[in-house]
Amino acid sequence: MTESKCSSARENRGGLDEMVARLRERAARGERTLAAIDGRCAAGKTTLAQTLGGRYGWSVIHMDHFFLRPEQRTLQRLSVPGENVDHERFLEQVLLPLKAGKSFCYRPFDCHTLAFGEPIRVEPGPVTLIEGSYSCNRALWAYYDFRAFLTVTPQLQRRRIRERNGEEGLNVFLEKWIPLEEAYFAQAELERRCDYLLEL
């Protein structure tokens, strides 16, 4: 993926080139920066974050590591858009240490095995990218310096999910995960509020 392949989407906000330039400028000035990459499933959030992280030596943290544990998945909680991630643990174990410039460890939760994995150690660097749906949860919003929203057409989204998860997996996304995400995006007005609206 090249930066030029990422364009501003539907609104006159800067594209990826501008976002990267601003992040690099802040890093050059010694300003520690936290940037969230939220958006629709299969829009390319993980690929984008890992590409930028590898190219510029930036840290990448995945919100997928913070999905709710079974005991947290109450009907009351899941009835609120955006509440199907453990933003409390993410704030305490990741964002607060990052803002303080401290190294830290966290254990990723695997929603397939329903178990915690081995600890991941993170050293605060000049730029940290937080990627994944719900990374711009309202409880986390104010801690970021930049926020990007990645969108994708429904047709391309379906094709990518089918290629990645198969036909059965696509049906699960269409029936469950996509409606949950869209309710969260709508309530939080992320497409309007994020600093960058991008389409890969």
pLDDT digit string (tens) for 27-84?
999 999 999 999 999 999 999 999 999 999 999 999 999 999 999 999 999 999 999 9
Which pLDDT belongs to residue 200?
Answer: 83
pTM of the model: 0.92
Q: How does strand 104-106 pair with strand 120-122? A: antiparallel
Angle, to 10 degrees, between the axis of helix 45-56 and the axis of helix 16-28? Answer: 40
Which pLDDT belongs to residue 161?
Answer: 97
Rounded distance between C-alpha atoms, residue 33 and residue 117, angstroms: 27
Which pLDDT belongs to residue 13?
Answer: 60
Query: Which residues are CB-neighbours of 198 under 8 A, at least 6 positions away?
Result: 6, 7, 8, 9, 15, 16, 19, 39, 48, 148, 149, 150, 151
Residue 71 neighbours by CB distance under 10 Å: 6
Q: Which positions of the chain have pLDDT values less than 50?
A: 2-12
Contact 149, 50 (CB under 8 A): no
Residue 39 neighbours by CB distance under 10 Å: 29
β partners of residue 89: none
Which pLDDT belongs to residue 105?
Answer: 97
Which pLDDT belongs to residue 11?
Answer: 45
Which pLDDT belongs to residue 19?
Answer: 96
- Sign of CA pseudo-dihedral 43, 126, 109, 75: negative
